[in-house]
């Protein structure tokens, strides 16, 4: 029983982290808006199950990397509250990871949506 209580508590902590990310990070809110728009577009154009799998995977990758980026920013601020070049590099690299995922997911979304929207 104690095992289950710990798992539920851990789940709650994860939800807290997600809520913190959404409330404190503008880009997380932008990504969530994109998720809503892309979901609506997917419903509108009638994506296949395979296309939905690709779209949902991309959404998960972008949002997960945004969460990791947020965690790195928080830890960097804790470890280096004053400006430090290495802290800047850590934050910039984490943000770059999110950007890379957005670019490649944008390509996937384009491959899936452009032919459907042109048809």
Q: Is 26 helix (H, G, I), strand (E, B) or coil?
A: helix
Catalytic, out of 16, 66, 73, 82: 66
Closest C-alpha to 106, from 32, 64, 28, 54 = 54
To the query of whether residue 66 is one of the catalytic residues in this protein, the response is: yes
Cα separation of 100 and 93, whole Å?
10
Q: Is 101 helix (H, G, I), strand (E, B) or coil?
A: helix
Question: Is there a contact between 67 and 21 (Cβ–Cβ < 8 Å)?
Answer: yes
What lies within 8 Å, CB to CB, of 76 at 6+ separation is 87, 90, 91
Q: Which residues are catalytic?
A: 66
């Amino acid at each position: 029983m104690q095992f289950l209580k710990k798992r539920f508590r851990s789940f709650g902590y994860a939800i807290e982290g997600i809520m913190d990310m959404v409330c404190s990070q503008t880009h997380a809110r932008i990504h969530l808006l994109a998720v809503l728009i892309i979901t609506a577009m997917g419903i509108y154009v009638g994506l296949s199950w395979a296309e939905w799998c690709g779209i949902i995977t991309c959404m998960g990758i972008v949002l997960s990397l945004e969460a990791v980026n947020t965690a790195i920013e928080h830890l960097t601020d804790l470890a280096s509250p004053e400006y430090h070049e290495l802290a800047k590099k850590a934050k910039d690299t984490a943000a770059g990871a999110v950007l890379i995922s957005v670019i490649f997911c944008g390509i996937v979304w384009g491959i899936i949506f452009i032919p459907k929207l042109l048809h």
